[in-house]
Structure 1
Amino acid sequence: MISLRIDGALFNYRVAGVAVLNGKVLLHKTPSDNFWTLPGGRAELFEFSKDTLQREMREETGLNAEAGEMLWVSENFFSYDGDKYHEIGFYFSMQIHDLPHQEDFLGSEGQDELLFHWHDVADLHSIAVYPAFLTEALAKSPLEKGHYNSGYTDLDAGNPIPS
């Protein structure tokens, strides 16, 4: 996995999928997190980004997902679980072909449980979604391609970290 420890911080290369269906977007979180994210994960060396998304969805949910066009690139700086991160994220549209319903379901990341939930796009402003640009970007119809930068965020506390 492309996650490198450099000078006491972590560089992370993450790929995520944007599945929007019937006005709802699929998000996930661990039971202990106080924020939601788009499903996905870290790329492996010599793995194309679209392949990363498809592999992560199979590993975490058992579902077959198809990565579509790239929507967003983001550069994020945050603290999480006591570590500081510099993350580059690629966000692709995603279709889940064998999705049986739009109800909540459980997945896993190794030994950790993941909660998956279809959130109404119109209500995203009322929950914590990370990276923060997603709340506004997901509200646009149709979704617009873009490049986003975020300031430092402490995901454990949900508060911006002064630069």
Structure 2
Amino acid sequence: MISLRIDGALFNYRVAGVAVLNDKVLLHKTPSDNFWTLPGGRCELFEFSKDTLQREMQEETGLAAEAGEMLWVSENFFLYNGDKYHEIGFYFEMQIRDLPHQDDFLGAEGQDELLFHWHDVADLHSIRVYPEFLADALTQNPLEKGHFSAEFRDLDAG
């Protein structure tokens, strides 16, 4: 996985998927987190970013996903679980094949449980979603492409 520890901080190359269906977007979180993110994960060395998204969805949910057009690139600096992160994120449109329902479901990242939930796009400003640009970007119809950068944030703070 492309996550490098450099001078007491972590560089992270993350890929995430944007699945919007019936005016709801699929987000996930760990039980201990107080915020939501788009599903995805870290790219492996010599892996194309679209392949990363498809692999991560299969590993974390057992669902087959197809990565579509790239929507956003994000440069994000944050503190999480005591670590400083410098994250580059690629965000793709995502279709989930054979989606059985839009109910909540559990997934896993290794030994860690993940809760998946379809949030109403109109309600995103009333929850904590990171990176913060997502609350605005996901309300656009159609979704507008862009590049976003965020100043340092403490994700552990309530």
| Residue type at the aligned position of 1:7 | D
What is the DSSP-based 3-state SS (H/G/I as helix, E as strand, rest coil) of the residue aligned with 2:138?
helix
Counting matched residue pairs gives: 158
What is the DSSP-based 3-state SS (H/G/I as helix, E as strand, rest coil) of the residue aligned with 1:122?
helix
**TM-score, length-scaled by structure 1:** 0.96
| Residue type at the aligned position of 2:58 | R
Partner of 2:129: 129
| Residue type at the aligned position of 2:75 | E
1:87-106 correspondence to structure 2 within 5 Å: 87-106=87-106
- Runs of 4+ that moved beyond 3 A: none
Alignment partners' CA distance in 1, 2:147 and 2:121: 20
Unaligned ranges ≥5, structure 1? 159-163
What is the DSSP-based 3-state SS (H/G/I as helix, E as strand, rest coil) of the residue aligned with 1:139?
coil
User: Identity of counterpart residues, as a percentage?
Assistant: 85
| Residue type at the aligned position of 2:26 | L
Partner of 1:161: none
| Residue type at the aligned position of 1:145 | K
Alignment partners' CA distance in 2, 1:129 and 1:36: 5
What is the DSSP-based 3-state SS (H/G/I as helix, E as strand, rest coil) of the residue aligned with 1:136?
helix
Alignment partners' CA distance in 2, 1:98 and 1:65: 9
| Residue type at the aligned position of 1:38 | L
**TM-score, length-scaled by structure 2:** 0.99
CA-based RMSD: 0.4
| Residue type at the aligned position of 2:107 | G
Following superposition, the deviation at residue 62 of structure 1 comes to 0.2
Alignment partners' CA distance in 1, 2:153 and 2:107: 26
Alignment partners' CA distance in 1, 2:82 and 2:2: 19
Partner of 1:25: 25
Partner of 2:64: 64
Alignment partners' CA distance in 2, 1:112 and 1:142: 34
Alignment partners' CA distance in 2, 1:55 and 1:156: 28
Partner of 1:12: 12
Alignment partners' CA distance in 2, 1:18 and 1:63: 14
Following superposition, the deviation at residue 145 of structure 1 comes to 0.2
Following superposition, the deviation at residue 98 of structure 1 comes to 1.6
Following superposition, the deviation at residue 115 of structure 1 comes to 0.1
CA-to-aligned-CA distance 1:25-62 (integer Å, 9 cap, x gap): 00000000000000000000000000000000000000
